[in-house]
Amino acid sequence: MLANQHAGTEVIATAKYRGKPFYHAIIEGRPDLPIKEFPKDARGMKLSLSDQGNTSGWLIPYAFLVKSGIDPRDFFQLREGATFGNNVSMIQQGLIDLGSDMDRGRNGMIEAGEMDPAKVVVYWTSQELPNDAICVPKGFDPALKTKIRDILVSLPEDKAQALMGSGYNGFVPATHADYGIIEEAGRVTGKLKS
């Protein structure tokens, strides 16, 4: 969104992770918290968000809170800048009540034995968020743009994984509009100009 706003960069495809072109931001916490409805029941709790450049770890949850009429800095004992792994570790150690993560990261930590899902539960899940974007510069040759997009979209899963890494298994065509939820969050938080 920032590259689009500042330089006109254009989205042409979205990466698929485990077959899906989307993921979710989540807020996790200790299972013993008296939260029936998040964020309403979490006032005054220790919340750790990732750094402000992280979409699922800061931008999306922060925008959700603002749109819910909450100033996160007043409503929570707010910390910023932790990695997802740090948030999970601090929750498991009882140092914080709640922390941001993404469902892909949560699943990976559970599979790797780095998180006990009985000790770290999900209290909030965002709407679907588009995965990583493949972009071209403003004014890029239209025929070449189409050719690149078509090559990416037609890659077999094994070649896509070799290109992108474990879990990533392809691409789908995409446009700027597919990233509208992130653009809106950028405007709500003041990270993007209106």
**Percent of the chain predicted with pLDDT > 90:** 91
Question: Which letter does DSSP use for residue 41 in this model?
Answer: G
Question: Which letter does DSSP use for residue 59 in this model?
Answer: I
- pLDDT score of 2: 84
Interval 24-79: pLDDT, tens: 999 999 999 999 999 999 999 999 999 999 999 999 999 999 999 999 999 999 99
Interval 102-129: pLDDT, tens: 999 999 999 999 999 999 999 999 999 9
Least confident of 5-9, 119-123, 145-149: 5-9
Q: Across the strands, what pairs with 126?
A: none
Distance between start and end Cα atoms, the chain: 12
pLDDT band per the 50, 70, 90 thresholds, residue 163: confident
Q: Across the strands, what pairs with 101?
A: 26
Joined together, the tokens standing for residue 180 give 């509208």
Q: How many CA atoms, within 13 angstroms, populate the side-chain half-sphere of residue 138?
A: 7
Q: Across the strands, what pairs with 16?
A: 170
